[in-house]
Structure 1
């Protein structure tokens, strides 16, 4: 018997291993097994297929079976196959993306003293001596241990020198990195199990007030709790661990370790929700009709129309029937707010899953979902969880570009994968948005999706008043401010006087995106990428937003020595700074990647804003996405022109969506909100449609433009990007690949051309784009041709180092 095994590596295909006789009958598809790959490395691989066909080469045996039951379901394996085939990547890359890191075990290099080691070894460096001394005290050290001992990241040269002299010896140790969380608990000893025995225990502790207090507390506490922690008992009574040990010696208590979940739930029962409005009842009835017809539903509802309440009703029904629900959100930023609402209604039947959970928590959610009893809310990574009874998939804010994975492989779109997942499970699918993407709108218009609209805000609240402020506007003294128009500043002051809050949207983080010399026009750029470094004032650092490179701002121009370097452009830090000058009494906070990096930083910031501890929130796109605050009376868009000038065929659509979405944060309760959009071109058609709230007019014009110029969804697109550390090699490879592809694709191929950022993370880039009719047969033909030409390029002399990235449905 043989097993085709998926390894967490970018291999063109699965790798075949022989099945030892003792494992025949134990193995199933989806199980993890320990296998050796290359000379010494061991991995936890996933069995994709079991068969009896010899592969034609000498196979290595499976070393051990890790799982008793399969880790992956048959549906998950099928989903992995589809992802790899559709998005042109390997199963190993899908595995890397799909499994929590603690389920992707690999062997770890362990260093021990060599068999020929002698205490008389001489001429060791200081670092080498420290490693050897540690090994004489501790038989084995991991690479992490050695890094900690030497207090340095790079330890390989030290280890290599010791290996060459046979002082140390490496071995590979294969370990399961997931460990269940256990807590130290206390319970009655075997001689104190009955109530009479427990009553007699008070006689044994009568001489100690603290022991008596501990016993009284335990008797009361353990009746309502499944277990009692030692630390809790000590905190509640002021006793010490010594007091508990004394009671253990008397036989009253015994210590034990108990496995507990890392998943925090407040344990509250589900709460009742408000009755549905007439509009929500109608939308629910229409959705159910589309479900009966077997169609996904596009729910197009204006901001604050109550779409979430409709989702909750459908989720309650599915969970009550013992089924699972997947609620997808585009950003982790939204999970905190939405999970509070959902858990308030659904109790602990729903869990949040995202990348800011630690690895152990992610494994525990994986195991909980596999039981079929837990539903999930989270971003696109939640698609990979092992659902077994999935009945409903909700994709909220379905238009959002954050659903697209850009790097690394698989470069998938979470919305599209969610549709496949729902179809695979026979589950209902709902896509919701106030500004649906053109792709989803076209699917609804063609009848592929059902369409349900909600045109009124919940509770009868009026849509916000939208005002265009000319960015060139001056104040009464004729002074023009580059960031705030007098209209916006006046509205901010009036909002604060009413005790309301404001949100300002600036689609660029940092203080200023350009640090330059006014004399010779030298601009400080990243050493790894062809982009200018962004100045971050609070860190006093220049930072690359592409690769993360950080530099100290030069005091003198490196080119001409000019001492007066200047800043150009505006970021969220600068807006925050300027607000403190114009509105010193306002409590201002910033919401961008820099201020929300910590696990709990984002939640704390949103909580502060929600309870009214902040007056103005300045943010990037994070503030546009589904946040719901009742006291927000004003929203300001600092520079609408930046959104419209982006070099992308989706620029108008993205701009319309962003401005409409951020406008929807205003006036969600009671009083009508106001939105001020600052722009040089206030008469631009997109801005005009945002002001009038005319989605239909916008989408018709956008559809016409896309059809005329052959862009998605009326054409399919695949982008090829070639990367190499030498510009000439990247250009030669691109010309060669384009030449081969052009033979079959003709004018469907565009390029090669240099992208707007021509060098990224030390790699020079060359792009080309294939556009072709949307038929499925065309897609398969084009992808097959592309892969054949990429394989041919890899075998061409001098081109083996060129990396070709295939991005299906880019942007």
Structure 2
């Protein structure tokens, strides 16, 4: 009797193909179960595949079916909860299932000696799987000490009941911090690599051994057989969202989906209550938190040319430099000396010739003679020039001598950059330790760890200049925190800009000592956001922001999809964007699904940065209201409607 199986190879199969192919089981072979790993011929090679469904043996096919080469596992390689999550991830992110499977398989999956043990996996009872359900999360709000104490209690309770737990961190550094404070014989890091320990831990999870795993987004694909608890740490951290490569998965949505599929308990830890937690999990709004003293500096009252470091900020820095153990943090969310170079006469902004983006200014040192007795990183060059460097394509050019628009000679940097603040502080605080933490000065995690260690251990006063990456770091209690340019936190026209700015201010304020000072330089001292930040009133800000978003139909009340098309020909990019927008509008109007009729299509329109690497960028944004996290009806429509040349990002971190 002919037996046909649907098998997904661990390869990239572009949309709109389902990524499943029919193979027949050879005579004499026991048909593999669903979820089993097999080796199949694909083209002129043999690849790993996963059995996803029973095929139709009665269907007539105009071509002969290929035969399964061999069966690798007798049982399912993943528990059914994990298989269902992988299916959800592929549909929810519009990523081919082969790409999802390739990342889910452990690195040792192609090693014949290692995968021989997979034949010993126990067969799972399929009747134990229950339908997904919506779970209300336990929201834990507080500092690291409070959250770690609650995490420890939750994990201990699960392990005592012979269950498994997953604690999700936004970054590997945060994962390391959680391991240092919570790790133990049964609380381990997510397995990674081809080592024997990684294989042993993977098998122990698959067989249901009580373990608690601390990991990042890649831990979602681990084969948890008895997952009873999922803890999402630092929920508002933007690094929970993958933006570099497919799948563009959001760890917060993925955690909610895995909770619904596995019916596990859910806990969310953060230093503030996110807007999503307020809407989705009915988290109570917190009381006012007036930690530390905050002072607003109106830059209109300062002398022209002093907007980077105002007089009150300079005085506070000099006063702190007299304290033996004074610690200060300056938060600047831009790299370089300045974010842009402009003409003072006509306002012309210098931009990249390949990208329609302003060119930040950086220092370009020319090495002079070395000073004996100093390390290489402490050497200061005798000559310093500046360069304009594009942050999108990396193109470097020298600053021009005159404006190309009006031929004016008064060219000045505009805005505040971390490198520019560092140069100013070297003049103001000549005897203090000054360090910089950003992707330009410390791109390597080891350099970041070294800078933070020096900042903690320095015996005298120390000042750290940092970008947004500092929000996920662990710092000692600070005497002074300063934000030299509040407007730069709100400079992007994104609906989440104010939420991110307020969240950053609250996180920075929580780093202060009880009697520490918080200084904010601004041109708009009467803004509502700043008024709530001064009072530490997150509840007032959240109520106002949620009221606006509900009226306009923005998340967390809706789900977004950002569709991006790039092409070297500007006319071709515009035509393709208009064609897809018209197709989606026609599909939404012709279907009988109420969710499609209520969906909003915004655009198409050129992106905020209209050209990147000589390619013109067009965006199309789709907004709709799903019933729950498992409602993927719109995603299934987009799977067939959007050509593979388009890039699709569900729940994007930004709509720009």
- Cα distance between partner residues in 1 of 2:138 and 2:262: 16
Deviations 1:440-496 (A, max 9, x none): 101233xxxxx4788699xxxx7211111223443xxx5642321222222223334
- Which residues in structure 2 correspond to 1:609-628 (within 5 Å)? 609-612=455-458, 615-625=462-472, 627-628=473-474
- Cα distance between partner residues in 1 of 2:426 and 2:402: 30
Q: Are residues 1:391 and 2:216 paired?
A: no
Deviations 1:660-686 (A, max 9, x none): 11111111xxx4222111111121101
Match of 1:2 in 2: 4
Q: Are residues 1:530 and 2:356 paired?
A: yes
Query: CA contact under 8 A between 1:305 and 1:456: conserved in structure 2?
Result: no
SS of the residue 2:218 aligns to:
helix
Match of 2:375 in 1: none
- Cα distance between partner residues in 2 of 1:54 and 1:583: 81
Offset, 1:692: 0.3
Pick 1 or 2: higher relative contact order, CA cutoff 8 A, min separation 6: 2
SS of the residue 1:756 aligns to:
strand
Match of 1:297 in 2: 138
Match of 2:331 in 1: 505
Q: Are residues 1:699 and 2:514 paired?
A: no
Query: CA contact under 8 A between 1:333 and 1:622: conserved in structure 2?
Result: no
Deviations 1:768-791 (A, max 9, x none): 22233444699655445444433x
Deviations 1:488-510 (A, max 9, x none): 22222333433121121111223
Offset, 1:617: 1.9
Query: CA contact under 8 A between 1:17 and 1:62: conserved in structure 2?
Result: no
Deviations 1:132-187 (A, max 9, x none): xxxxxxxxxxxxxxxxxxxxxxxxxxxxxxxxxxxxxxxxxxx78999xxxxxxxx
Deviations 1:259-289 (A, max 9, x none): xxxxxxxxxxxxxxxxxxxxxxxxxxxxxxx
Go from structure 1 to structure 2 and tell me whether the alpha carbon gap of 1:494 and 1:24 turns closer, same or farther (over 3 Å shift): farther
Among 499, 509, 527, the residue aligned to 1:663: 509
SS of the residue 2:646 aligns to:
strand
SS of the residue 2:67 aligns to:
coil
SS of the residue 2:582 aligns to:
helix
SS of the residue 2:281 aligns to:
helix
Among 618, 630, 634, the residue aligned to 2:480: 634
Go from structure 1 to structure 2 and tell me whether the alpha carbon gap of 1:732 and 1:299 turns closer, same or farther (over 3 Å shift): same
Unaligned runs of 5+ in 1: 106-174, 180-292, 446-450, 795-801
Offset, 1:748: 2.4
Offset, 1:637: 1.4
Offset, 1:600: 2.9
Unaligned runs of 5+ in 2: 116-133, 366-385, 590-596
Among 277, 280, 295, the residue aligned to 1:467: 295
Q: Which has the larger radius of gyration?
A: 1
Match of 1:78 in 2: 84
Go from structure 1 to structure 2 and tell me whether the alpha carbon gap of 1:702 and 1:521 turns closer, same or farther (over 3 Å shift): closer
Q: Are residues 1:43 and 2:47 paired?
A: yes
Among 633, 646, 649, the residue aligned to 1:804: 646
Among 402, 414, 417, the residue aligned to 1:568: 414
Go from structure 1 to structure 2 and tell me whether the alpha carbon gap of 1:673 and 1:28 turns closer, same or farther (over 3 Å shift): farther
Match of 1:278 in 2: none
- Cα distance between partner residues in 2 of 1:375 and 1:473: 55
Aligned length: 595
The TM-score normalised by the length of structure 2 is: 0.80
Q: Are residues 1:763 and 2:628 paired?
A: no
- Cα distance between partner residues in 1 of 2:424 and 2:105: 45
- Cα distance between partner residues in 2 of 1:673 and 1:312: 30
Q: Are residues 1:315 and 2:143 paired?
A: no
Offset, 1:9: 0.3
Match of 1:352 in 2: 189
Q: Are residues 1:425 and 2:262 paired?
A: yes
Go from structure 1 to structure 2 and tell me whether the alpha carbon gap of 1:29 and 1:682 turns closer, same or farther (over 3 Å shift): same
Match of 1:412 in 2: 249
Offset, 1:572: 1.7
Match of 2:372 in 1: none
Go from structure 1 to structure 2 and tell me whether the alpha carbon gap of 1:711 and 1:176 turns closer, same or farther (over 3 Å shift): same
Deviations 1:32-84 (A, max 9, x none): 4343433x354333332354637734333333455576543322211011112
- Cα distance between partner residues in 1 of 2:402 and 2:231: 53
Q: Are residues 1:487 and 2:312 paired?
A: yes
Query: CA contact under 8 A between 1:638 and 1:677: conserved in structure 2?
Result: yes
Offset, 1:334: 2.4
Among 734, 753, 758, the residue aligned to 2:605: 753
Which shifted more, 497-506 or 60-69?
60-69
Offset, 1:373: 4.6
SS of the residue 1:701 aligns to:
helix
Which shifted more, 325-334 or 703-712?
325-334
SS of the residue 2:392 aligns to:
coil
Q: How large is the RMSD of aligned CA atoms in angstroms?
A: 3.7
Query: CA contact under 8 A between 2:25 and 2:31: conserved in structure 1?
Result: no
- Cα distance between partner residues in 2 of 1:49 and 1:8: 18
Offset, 1:358: 6.5
